Amino acid sequence: MTDAALIDGKARAAELRARVGAAVADLEERHGTVPGLAVVQLGDDPASSVYVNSKNRLAAECGIRSLGFHGSGDTGEAELLAEIDRLNGDDDVDGILVQLPLPDHIDAGRVLERIDPVKDVDGFHPVNVGLLVTGGEAPVPCTPLGCLLMLREQLGDMSGKTAVIVGRSNIVGKPMAALLTREHCTVTVAHSRTRDLPAVCRGADILVAAVGRPEMIRGDWIGPGATVIDVGINRIAAPERGPDRTRLVGDVAFDEARTVAGAITPVPGGVGPMTIACLLRNTLEAACRRRGRSMPEL
């Protein structure tokens, strides 16, 4: 038995960010314009703050201007919608991202629908979801896009491969299914009602896990040589590291899986860094589109 190849999302994300940074510099030099990204956050949820801070920091490293809005957890829906309207109308803003989850008193669907589809760098607007499914040009949700770029680099042509996606959320599972269908894979979307999930997973050449259950997918659920993309981010207790210590694990039992799979993403250091790099890529793309420039091949 051999160990699976490690798909190093951290290194690939750094490469992608460097290419985005070079393209941003080129845009500024040739056209005197810099892309702007507005990250909208309400409240001070610690996990959201960590994500927002790293998005803003990495955007700055790529030369992208951050024009965020940070409201209190009590901000009302009308006030938030007015802020989205303002950002939609601000010519310096190319991309708008609303950090989820939003407080319970706000209808997230209504807020996401208010974003101008051209500035929707998360690709969650119903217009963009429709374009993704029908094969049109639209921003692609960042996490599935990151998974796709890693798969393309690892496998090249995916035509005819059997892909199983475990999870059918709007932000990961469903767009991932649309993307892999576009790559000519034969796609199965599994979920909590799927019968005999281990057998379904075992049939996959490409297995994407987006469940949110620590290490649910065991080594013997994986077909020999399969390519495994682990989207899950789960924090579990790690008493071996000391009292009250925790660690991150994916949805796949990594140590078991890597003795069977052909290639696998680690957690952390896999899909997570690629997600942010794809957000910056999407911001550049939105800036090019809004200014009538062609998006460079990245």
- The residues of the shown chain that bind ligand NDP, judged by CB under 6 A, are 143, 166-169, 171-173, 190-194, 197, 210-213, 231-234, 271-272, 275
Q: 27 vs 172, which CB is nearer to ligand NDP?
A: 172
From 99, 119, 120, 205, the catalytic residue: 99
Minimum CB distance to ligand NDP, residue 261 (Å): 18
Minimum CB distance to ligand NDP, residue 171 (Å): 5
Q: 75 vs 282, which CB is nearer to ligand NDP?
A: 282
Q: 27 vs 281, which CB is nearer to ligand NDP?
A: 281
Minimum CB distance to ligand NDP, residue 270 (Å): 7
122 included as an active-site residue:
yes
Q: 83 vs 281, which CB is nearer to ligand NDP?
A: 281
Q: 30 vs 193, which CB is nearer to ligand NDP?
A: 193
Minimum CB distance to ligand NDP, residue 222 (Å): 15
CA–CA gap between residue 138 and residue 56 (Å, rounded): 23
99 included as an active-site residue:
yes
CA–CA gap between residue 83 and residue 71 (Å, rounded): 10
55 included as an active-site residue:
yes
From 122, 205, 230, 251, the catalytic residue: 122
Minimum CB distance to ligand NDP, residue 231 (Å): 4
From 55, 119, 161, 174, the catalytic residue: 55
Catalytic residue IDs = 55, 99, 122
